[in-house]
Structure 1
């Protein structure tokens, strides 16, 4: 099984909602950070990448038909080359809303995770993420609004520059089923577009938001 849909958008751009939508449309299972958290054997792949080692993408994504969210979004260029028939969905949202969400979730978690009572594999994937997106996308600075927004804008520009329009959908999940289904050539489900991973949802899976 090869990836048919690749997600290049940052976390906190509706990736959990997109995961649910893709799975509803038949592109499941969909790889997401939640999948890594639920499958500790996944962590070694991202540790290798953070250490500068190569991995086999067919092995990393064995059994998955789609991928969204970090850590996979960090290697979107590699995935686009490895799976040339896959379409790319780049999730985005109003940048100030993205920063407000990122700052109170991922940014806060990465500043505090070393002191939190997390399972070892969760701690390991966060360390790997820090060596990948944290270092290379944000320059190791996760608490600066201007640096964060610059990285957010840059990713969208890079994806637009790298991929033909026929292969890319820049998508805000608030747009609902229409653009996504038209891009993938699927029928629009007769149900609301899924809406997941509010701030409370993010912290719930980690045992609650630290004070």
Structure 2
């Protein structure tokens, strides 16, 4: 079953959007297997991106982080330059991949004032009345609270599921 993307994609049926890990790591395979799909590459200023990643991951070494940053380099706090280079390389790779298909990729700066307008224009939808969503904000996290403990349990379970996914796909 290793490398069998079609089996993995069966689990995505019924969804309009795939976001986050592991999907950004397999954007080429998704593009090849889902005709007419479109992609949004979110970007932001490097300093705030790195702080967010470092705060989110902390000192947890996990299979997903090893896949993204390389074996033995799964903790961004240990090598800031490498972590930033991985992000830059990924963004450049995505942009290069879609360079001849500009209608299939939107590059969205998360600090832009007109995010809704850009996304809705790209997806041929009307702009909704509500504010652009922003979840998982650092200001929403209480490190001493139950939410934080539940987030840790959820992250460990998610890491287990991702490890299973990586094993199935032959990446681990």
Relative to the length of structure 2, the TM-score reads 0.71
Question: Deviation per CA, 1:141-195, whole angstroms, max 9, x where unpaired?
Answer: 5331100111111111111110121111011233330111111111000111111
| Aligned residue in 1 for 2:157 | none
Does 2:54 correspond to 1:103? yes
| Aligned residue in 2 for 1:181 | 120
| Aligned residue in 2 for 1:31 | none
| Aligned residue in 1 for 2:159 | none
Question: In 2, distance between residues paired with 1:81 and 1:207?
Answer: 34
Aligned residues of 2:38 and 2:105 also touching (Cα < 8 A) = yes
Q: CA, structure 1 residues 145+184, in 2 after alignment: closer, same or farther (shift >3 Å)?
A: same
Instruction: Give runs of aligned pairs for residues 105-120 of structure 1, distance below 5 A.
Output: 105-106=56-57, 108-111=58-61
Post-superposition offset of 1:206: 1.9
Work out the number of aligned pairs and report it. 141
| Aligned residue in 2 for 1:148 | 83
Question: Deviation per CA, 1:15-73, whole angstroms, max 9, x where unpaired?
Answer: xxxxxxxxxxxxxxxxxxxxxxxxxxxxxxxxx7xxx5433243131221111111111
Is the radius of gyration larger for structure 1 or structure 2?
2
Structure 2: state its 5+ residue gaps. 155-172
| Aligned residue in 1 for 2:25 | 74
Structure 1: state its 5+ residue gaps. 1-47, 112-125
Q: CA, structure 1 residues 61+140, in 2 after alignment: closer, same or farther (shift >3 Å)?
A: same
Question: Deviation per CA, 1:94-151, whole angstroms, max 9, x where unpaired?
Answer: 0111001101112x1524xxxxxxxxxxxxxx43x14532437x95453311001111
Aligned residues of 1:141 and 1:147 also touching (Cα < 8 A) = no
